[in-house]
Structure 1
Amino acid sequence: MSLPTVVFLDRATIPRHIHLPALTFSHRWQEFDTTAPEQVVERLQDAEIVITNKVVLSAEILAQLPNLRLVAVSATGVNNVDVDYCRIHNIAVCNVQGYATRSVPEHVVAMMFALRRNLMGYHHDIAAGEWQRNKQFCFFTHSIGDIAGSTLGLIGGGALGQATAALARALGMQVLFAEHKGQAECRAGYTPFEQVLREADVLSLHCPLTEQTRNLIAQPELTCMKPTAILINTGRGGLVDETALVDALKQRTIAGAGVDVFTQEPADINNPLIANMDLPNLLLTPHVAWGSDSAIQQLANILIDNIEAYAAGKQQNRIV
């Protein structure tokens, strides 16, 4: 009996300094740093198990892979996999959950402090010689706000939202969880969506991207927010209308924004946020909120453990 073949299509999504545990069962291992769409079918012809982070496995591609039995997604989101096709054709799908409950909240808090205290603005002013022109021991070209005593609005009450709430409360913030947009009645512990928009000093997004949440925050929602408010998105790029956000920042409809995720990744120079990244109230990072060393190591451990569980006939972190 031939050994099962395991293929990792985008190994470069896990940094080389992170230890990827070895599978304990007998198998053939193949890995590729990156895989272009036209290479997927060829590389998976003999595969029983595929590991993917962002490589798309559509129904058209999956239909050409008769040996495939498990799709192990090395991330939480599975929108790159046609889950319905897998369900119909008895292909198991598992993902990695709960690995970034320290990393993402800390990134949110870091962005929150940087924007509220205008750290980038002061850094750039020093570089431009503003300190020397002022001839004082300090200077105040940007307002500096406190985090303690302010209100954090959270859209998304899952593990990441809850972990962010815990950090915020430790900093002395009041926390409001937003009910689903358009929902007439609120669940216990939730506040009407529009009320959260109006009251939040910082609004942080932690919900999945679906057809219902696409452009969840657009011009009408940004207009509802305080002019002193900050928007932080470490969820998914499509949650925010990027053009509307840039307009709101330029017009000072809101005070600032921290963005870690984009509608298309990598974002090119035509992306409205990239094209306006010199705005003093806009902080961009390249989808790295999840990526502390400890979080990625946890991801790698869970990923391999998911595959081990499948090989042992167990269900773990299964989507299908």
Structure 2
Amino acid sequence: MEKIVFLDSTTIPSHIRIPSPSFPHQWESFEETSPEEVLSRLKDATIVVANKVILSGELLAQLPSLKLIAVAATGYNNVDVRWCKANNLPVCNIRGYATGSVPEHVIALAFALRRNINAYHRDIELGVWKEKNQFCFFTHPIGDIAGATLGIIGSGSLGQAVELLAKAVGMKVIRSERKGATSVRDGYVSFEEALKQADILTLHCPLSDETRNLIGAEELAKMKPTSILINTGRGGLVNEVALVEALKNGEIAGAGVDVFTEEPATTSNPLLAHAGMPNLILTPHVAWGSDSSIQTLANQLTDNLNAFIEGKPQNLV
């Protein structure tokens, strides 16, 4: 009988049902697990399910009973995959489950920032309408979505889904080549050109040593002063201090951020410290989280477990 331990079950809302695996098993679930508790909770586990709990090589080396790490998300930077490959410990993740939810969140942020909806809402709260004494007022520029150029960095399933939805609302879409690439694939523009051309730049690549601080002060300076940056990928893709400075200095017009370098973010995070800026919209890593997407995730999680026990592992990283 397999012992499955889910270390951080609160990452899946309680109203979402995780289907029971089809093989004999014991399922143990913890809402949260601190670093100090991981080893004792996985002592007898053969399968660990985790979303954000760190599983280092040093820790995994002390758990010889583990047969599988099932990441309950697409991102797996919380797992020492290099150690796992060297020690033949399979790791699987979830794929394609948020191709409806994330693109809608991206386009919603694009509309809100392009039309300065947040800024106008704040102006009304601050009494600007009464002060202007007109039937309407224009304190912020209002841009159209139709005809705007959307630059996509990361052309996997999420990037492709964003492209489809963007084209449906009349946007011109350009795909960015990888930063530092020596050649440009057909249908792509160079990373530098994407920075220069995009009215809205959206990030959908994984976080790695190569993509950490992908967008920093140098990259932001190359963007249009009317452009918008949207990050629903990973917090570490963007230098948060540089982004705040770019917004304050008018180097770009706005930003929509759903992911942070540390989560949950605290008030020490420069983005949260400037959350009142009218051209900055923050959401708490929920772009992926429509009910339908989370149910798809839960279903696929169980499918991954069943496939592994059947000797047909899927979604290995």
| TM-score scaled by length of structure 2 | 0.98
Alignment of 1:156 with 2:154, yes or no, is: yes
For 1:96-135, what per-residue CA distance to the aligned partner results, in whole angstroms no more than 9, with x for missing partners? 0000111111110010011011111111111122222222
Judge which range, 270-279 or 86-95, deviates more: 86-95
Does structure 1 residue 110 correspond to structure 2 residue 108? yes
Partner Cα separation in structure 2 for residue 87 and residue 199 of structure 1: 40
> What is the CA deviation profile of residues 246-271 of structure 1, one whole-angstrom value per residue up to 9, with x for unaligned ones?
01000101000001111111111111
- C-alpha contact (below 8 Å) 1:12/1:34 kept by paired residues: yes
| Residue pair 1:69, 1:90 contacting (<8 A) in 2 also | no
Q: List per-residue Cα deviations over 1:23-64 (Å, max 9, x = no partner).
A: 121111100000000101100111001100011111111111
Letter aligned with residue 281 of structure 1:
N
Matched position secondary structure for 1:258: strand
Alignment correspondent of 1:58: 56
Tell me what 1:68 maps to.
66
Residue 209 of structure 1 corresponds to 207
Q: Partner residue of 1:195?
A: 193
TM-score by length of 1: 0.97
Q: What is the CA–CA distance in structure 1 between the aligned matches of 2:306 and 2:182, rounded to whole Å?
A: 44
Equivalent residue number for residue 91 of structure 1: 89
Partner of 2:145, secondary structure, is coil
Deviations 1:129-150 (A, max 9, x none): 2222222222222111101011
Residue type matched to 2:153 in 1?
Answer: I
Query: Counterparts of 2:18 and 2:207 in 1: how far apart (Å)?
Result: 29
Alignment of 1:241-256 (within 5 A): 241-256=239-254
Is the 8 Å Cα contact of residues 2 and 25 (structure 2) preserved in structure 1?
yes
**Structure 1 counterpart of 2:284, from 283, 286, 291:** 286
Distance 1:197 1:232 in 2: 13
Segments of 5+ residues of structure 2 without an aligned counterpart are none
For residues 221-262 of structure 1, give each alpha carbon's deviation from its aligned partner in whole angstroms, at most 9, with x where no partner exists.
111111000000111111111111101000101000001111
Unaligned residue ranges in structure 1 (runs of 5+)? none
1:220 counterpart (214, 218, 221): 218
| Matching residue's letter, 1:128 | L
Counterpart of 2:170 (choices 166, 169, 172) is 172
Aligned pair count reads 317
**What is the CA distance between 1:82 and its match in structure 2?**
1.4
* 1:43 maps to which of 41, 44, 54: 41
SS state of the match for residue 112, structure 2? Answer: helix
Once residues 9 and 188 of structure 1 are traced to their aligned partners in structure 2, the CA distance between those partners, rounded to angstroms, is 43
Q: Identity of counterpart residues, as a percentage?
A: 61
Deviations 1:262-298 (CA, angstroms, capped at 9, x unpaired): 1111111111111111111111111111111111000
Q: 2:135 aligns with which of 128, 132, 137?
A: 137
Amino acid at match of 1:134: K
Residue of structure 2 equivalent to 1:15: 13
Shift of 1:209: 1.1
Bigger mean CA deviation after superposition, 52-61 or 175-184: 175-184
Alignment map for 1:268-307 (pairs within 5 Å):
268-307=266-305
Q: How far, CA to CA, are the matches of 1:59 and 1:185 in structure 2?
A: 35
Q: Give the CA RMSD over aligned residues.
A: 1.0
How many angstroms apart in 1 are the aligned matches of 2:211 and 2:126? 41
- Structure 1 residue 217, shift from structure 2 partner: 0.8
Match of 2:117 among 103, 116, 119: 119
CA distance in 2, matches of 1:4, 1:213: 37
Question: For 1:125, what is the secondary structure of its paired residue?
Answer: helix
Q: Which runs of 4+ in 1 moved over 3 A?
A: none
Tell me, in whole angstroms, the C-alpha distance in 2 between the residues paired with 1:88 and 1:247.
42
Alignment CA distance shift 1:241-1:297 (3 Å): same
Q: What is the one-letter code of the residue matched to 2:104?
A: E
Paired residues of 1:9 and 1:33 also in contact (CA < 8 A) = yes
Q: Quick one: which amino acid aligns to residue 290 of structure 1?
A: W
CA distance in structure 1 between the aligned counterparts of 2:219 and 2:87, rounded to whole angstroms: 41
Q: Kindly state the Cα deviation for residue 90 of structure 1 after the two structures are TM-superposed.
A: 2.5
1:147 corresponds in structure 2 to 145
Give the AA of the match of 2:4: V
- Contact between 1:151 and 1:175, CA under 8 Å: does it hold in 2? yes
Following superposition, the deviation at residue 89 of structure 1 comes to 2.4
